[in-house]
């Protein structure tokens, strides 16, 4: 496989991107090709960027509590673009109780505060198609 391509995305209005940037840099250091969207992206913009950049992975970060609404929306829009195999993962301030519904909606894994970046790297390597 060529270099794994990852879109790191910030959906919604949340301005906290310390985590997104740290993860993006760690993924890059792990040898992935990383594109960061910057703040305040709509689900439509993220799905479009995922298609344009032909990524293998979409990694989203939300700390605002809007994840139940925005994560599934991105999954649906990415799938509608015919990207059936794209691995979609999320992270941020996400209560344990919200995780089953997010997984049901197609988020492959949810990474909560305290996760080492190596865990994200390992998960992508093991699950990317």
Partner 1 sequence: MSNEKIKAELEKYEAAVAKAIEKTPERKHLPEQRLYTPLDVKGVEAYTDEIGFPGQYPFTRGVQPTMYRGRFWTMRMYAGFSTAKASNERYRYLIANGGTGLSCAFDLPTQIGYDSDDPISEGEVGKVGVAIDSLADMEVLFDQIDLGKVSTSMTINAPASVLLAMYIAVAEEQGVPADQLRGTIQNDILKEYAARGTYIFPPKPSMRIITNIFEYCSKNVPKWNTISISGYHIREAGSTASQEIAFTIADGIAYVDAAIKAGMDVDDFAGRLSFFWNAHNNVLEEVAKFRASRRVWAKVMKERFGAKKPKSMMLRVHTQTAGSMLTAQQPNNNIIRVALQTAAAVMGGTQSLHTNSRDEALALPTQESVTIALRTQQIVANESGLADVIDPLAGSYYVEAMTDRIEKEAWDYIKKIDELGGAVAAIEKGYIQKEIQDSAYKWQMDVENKRRIIVGVNEYTMEEEPPKGLLKVDASVGIEQCKKLADLKAGKPINKMTKGRDNEAVKAALAELKEACKKDESENLMPHILKAVKTYATLGEICNVMREVFGLYEAHVSL
Per the structure block, which two tokens stand in for 31? 């040898």
Least CB distance from residue 118 to partner 1, whole Å? 7
Quick one: three-class SS letters along the chain? CCCCEEEEECECCCCCCHHHHHHHHHHHHCCCEEEECCCCECHHHHHHHHHHCCCCEEEEEECCCCHHHHHHHHHHHHHHCCCCCCEEEEEECCCHHHHHHHHHCCCCEEECCCCCHHHHHHHHHHHCC
Give yes or no for residue 112 binding partner 1 (CB under 8 A): yes
Give yes or no for residue 39 binding partner 1 (CB under 8 A): yes
Contacts of partner 1 in 59-88 (CB under 8 A): 64-66, 68-70
Torsion of CA 14, 109, 98, 77, to 10 degrees: 60
Least CB distance from residue 33 to partner 1, whole Å? 12
Question: For partner 1, how many residues bind (rule: CB under 8 A)?
Answer: 36
Give yes or no for residue 2 binding partner 1 (CB under 8 A): no
Give yes or no for residue 18 binding partner 1 (CB under 8 A): yes
Of residues 43 and 84, the one with the C-beta less far from partner 1: 43
Give yes or no for residue 100 binding partner 1 (CB under 8 A): no
Instruction: List interacting residues with partner 1 (CB under 8 A).
Output: 12-18, 21-22, 24-26, 28, 34, 36-40, 42, 64-66, 68-70, 93, 95-97, 112-114, 116-118
């Amino acid at each position: 496989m060529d270099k794994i391509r990852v879109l790191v995305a910030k959906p919604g209005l949340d301005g906290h991107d310390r985590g997104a940037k740290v993860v993006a840099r760690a993924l890059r250091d792990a040898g992935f090709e990383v594109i960061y969207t910057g703040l305040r992206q709509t689900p439509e913009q993220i799905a479009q960027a995922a298609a344009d950049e032909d990524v293998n992975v979409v990694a989203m970060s939300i700390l605002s509590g809007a994840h139940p609404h925005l994560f599934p929306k991105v999954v649906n829009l990415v799938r509608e673009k015919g990207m059936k195999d794209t691995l979609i993962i999320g992270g941020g301030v996400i209560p344990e109780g919200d995780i089953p519904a997010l997984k049901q909606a197609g988020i492959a894994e949810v990474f909560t505060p305290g996760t080492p970046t190596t865990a994200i790297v390992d998960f992508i390597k093991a699950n990317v198609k």
